[in-house]
Amino acid sequence: MKLLRAPKLLTGRPDEVILDAEVLVDGVLIKGVGPRGSQDASGAEVVELEGCTLMPGMVDAHVHLGFDRDVNPTTKKSTETDSHLLLRMAENARKLLSAGVTTARDLGGRDFLEVELRDAIDAGLAVGPHLVVATRPITNTGGHCWYMGGEADDADGIRRVARENLRAGADCLKVMATGGAMTPVGPPAWRAQWTSTEILAAVEEAATRGKFVAAHAHGTEGIKNAALAGVRTIEHCSFAVEGAGSPFAREVDMEVVALIAERGVYVCPTVNAVVWQMDERFGPGVFGNLVDRLAKMRAAGVKLIAGTDCGFGMRGIENRMDGYLRGLEVFAAAGWDNASVIEAATTLAAEAIGVGELTGSLDAGKQADLIALRGDPLARLGDLCNLELVMVSGRCVTQSHVETTNASVWVP
């Protein structure tokens, strides 16, 4: 057993702070949380974390550990073997961990390699966060990210790909409700790829195994179709329109926003370090429009969660695997107080991706997934970078200040 003590503890819920706190870890689980002296810690190793704040490990709800930087999206040909890609994915997982991310949802890759890595991390053979994996995104023939292997053309085809993914070990499913900018031969980001009835086929298949669906959706029609079909999360939610010239400078359809809030659908707007440079790349006002969209959705009652879409960049900007904090700062720019930002990155994100009963908050009986950092993130969000300790299922796995020579992100 380990007894961790720190001057401040954040449970992950905005209104819960414990001063002069301690957490008792027994094996892979949290045994107890409370003020100093509240835990029966006979025989436990005591770790004093002076000047630190204890809090839940953070959740990145949208990553691509295995986005193949060498693939030609038109021909599906790649020079990178599965073996090499899997090794790169393991390094990407380590980089996520170095940013304090103890749980991540991988939303698309090739050849079911995410399943292999997830299981290796759980077995202690690799160092990384817990992974929730979607495997191949379900898309039209020639649709967005078709080269990942999840093509279908109708509801029956969607069911076939969904069942194949679930058979291979997928924890959730992902559907491409609209096109996207990363597939030159596919439909544009604003155009819907599936009807709500077709997306419902994936939702029903996931439900047969107690699982959920995430929907990639930029355009308004695709966003609405996904919400009507009952997906668990909507990714990006950009409200793209034809001819707008930027994937971020969009008008917000408040009727669709109201539908999302009414249905209880979570939105992962995939904010990251890249979006801070959007004015430079797309023109003045793009970042401000993004911040305005986030504020409007939040005010309407939409549950927004943290996710970076790390694994590839945009227009020459690398979206680093260890750049998690910059995405959280976008929420702060949109008016979130620091406690609400931390909630979006921990309890709310864990709940959205289906692991809220296991992780995301510091509670007895949950996995011992936590971080200790120097300083106080309630006062200074940047203190989230000052990691002193990272623990995953009771295992100390801190990996700070370790550099690699090669970029792990595909940047077109």
Residues 319-341 pLDDT 10s: 788 889 999 999 999 999 999 99
Length of the chain in residues, anyone? 412
Domains of the chain, first to last? 2-57+361-396 (2.30.40.10), 58-352 (3.20.20.140)
- The reported pTM is 0.94
* Cβ partners under 8 Å of residue 218, min gap 6: 178, 179, 180, 189, 190, 236, 237, 238, 239, 240, 247
The DSSP call for residue 7 is: E
Structure tokens at 335: 């008016």
Query: Which spans in 123-190 are helix H?
Result: 155-168
Beta strands of 277-359 (E only): which ranges?
Answer: 303-304
Q: Is the pLDDT of residue 406 over 70?
A: no
**What pLDDT, in 10s, does the model give residues 180-203?**
877 777 788 889 999 999 999 999
The tokens 């986030």 sit on which residue? 294
Query: Which spans in 108-240 are helix H?
Result: 113-122, 155-168, 196-207, 220-229
Amino acid at 107: L
Task: Give the CA diameter of the chain.
Answer: 66
Structure tokens at 345: 């990155």
* Cβ partners under 8 Å of residue 294, min gap 6: 269, 271, 304, 330, 331, 334
Tell me how far apart the terminal alpha carbons of the chain are, to the nearest angstrom.
Answer: 48
Q: Is the pLDDT of residue 277 over 70?
A: yes
Average pLDDT along the chain: 91
Beta pairing partners, 17: 10
Structure tokens at 3: 């007894």
Structure tokens at 331: 């929420």
Closest among 273, 277, 297 to 286, alpha carbons compared: 277
What is the rounded average pLDDT of the residues 38-55?
Answer: 95
pLDDT score, position 323: 87
Structure tokens at 262: 């009414």
pLDDT score, position 56: 98
Q: For residues 245-259, b (16+ Cβ closer than 10 Å) or e, as one string?
A: ebbbbbebeeebbeb
The DSSP call for residue 317 is: B
**What pLDDT, in 10s, does the model give residues 95-109?**
999 999 999 999 999
The tokens 């040909």 sit on which residue? 77
Beta strands of 316-378 (E only): which ranges?
Answer: 370-374
What is the rounded average pLDDT of the residues 65-82?
Answer: 70
| Rounded Cα gap, residues 389 and 197, in angstroms | 46
| Rounded Cα gap, residues 306 and 202, in angstroms | 24
| Rounded Cα gap, residues 310 and 323, in angstroms | 8
Structure tokens at 177: 């409700």
Residues 198, 158 contacting (CB under 8 angstroms): yes
* Cβ partners under 8 Å of residue 359, min gap 6: 56, 57, 59, 102, 103, 130, 350, 366, 367, 369
More confident residue, 279 or 224: 224
Q: Helix, strand, or coil here: 21? A: strand
Residues 399, 98 contacting (CB under 8 angstroms): yes
The DSSP call for residue 315 is: T
**What pLDDT, in 10s, does the model give residues 228-273?**
999 999 999 999 888 655 555 568 999 999 999 999 999 999 998 8
Q: What are phi and psi of 91, to 5 degrees?
A: -65, -40
Q: Is the pLDDT of residue 214 over 60?
A: yes
The tokens 């609405």 sit on which residue? 224
* Residue 354 CA from chain centroid, whole number: 12
Is the CA virtual torsion 111, 115, 116, 121 positive or negative? positive
Range with the lowest mean pLDDT among 192-206, 277-291, 306-320, 397-411? Answer: 397-411
Query: What percent of the chain has pLDDT above 90?
Result: 76
Structure tokens at 178: 């609209």
